[in-house]
A and B are shown apart, each in its own frame.
Chain A
């Protein structure tokens, strides 16, 4: 138990569906991340939210839409996905003071997404 909870753990969706992945952290952190992990590829950074503001959008297609309503919750809205989007989606959080200190990432267990 890392203090970062992701739901659902598994999701199967068609290319025309709309679904959302949810992440919640109970660690009092103020930075949250979405990563994509595909087979035989490095962890790919998708989005970073720092104090609820998006500070990184790593050229992610618009069919992935993040939402960070507060510093404890992060969503990834999915629509009209492609089969190549099938992967493990990992959420992480860390503590930062926005200046000179930034701590390690704590990961959730991931949401395994399959797009048919």
Chain B
């Protein structure tokens, strides 16, 4: 059965800290890995990763994929209170099936 695991499940940090969120997966027919941020409502897209070792960056966020070891990390540097959210990792497989992990709940305190 296809599975996506995230760790930690929750995290509390102070503003300015750097955090690393982890995502590992076991799926058949991997196509891509996606990261989303969910605050109160709909998840918003952050990154899509398809190739190993190529870092994607957007401001203070970055992510990388290791297809050999079947994991990805999401880094957030110089965290701000606005980064408080649930970060979701998802894997897309064949026939466009997209499976989500349980999420990491990040709280950034001033």
Contact = CB atoms under 8 A, between A and B. Distances in A.
A59 B1 CA distance: 13
A96 interface: yes
Contacts of B45: 104-106
A104 B97 CA distance: 11
A102 B96 contact: yes
Given A2-B42, A90-B42, A104 B48 contact: yes
A107 B92 contact: no
Contacts of B44: 2, 107
Interface in B61-103: 88, 90, 92, 95-103
B38 to A, nearest CB: 9
A103 interface: yes
Contact of A42 (B31, B42, B92, B103): B103
A66 interface: no
10 contacts: A2-B44, A42-B103, A50-B96, A56-B95, A92-B98, A94-B96, A105-B43, A105-B90, A105-B98, A107-B44
Contacts of A90: 42-43
Nearest to B97: A56
B95 A55 contact: yes
Interface of A: 2, 31, 33, 35, 41-43, 45, 48, 50, 55-56, 90, 92, 94, 96, 102-110
Interface residues of B, number: 22
Counting chain A CB atoms within 10 Å of each CB, the highest count among B43, B90, B96, B97 belongs to B96
A102 B97 contact: no
Nearest to A2: B42
Contacts of B42: 2, 90, 107-110
Given A109-B41, A110-B41, A45 B97 contact: yes
A45 B99 contact: yes
B32 interface: yes
B29 to A, nearest CB: 11
Contacts of B34: 104-105
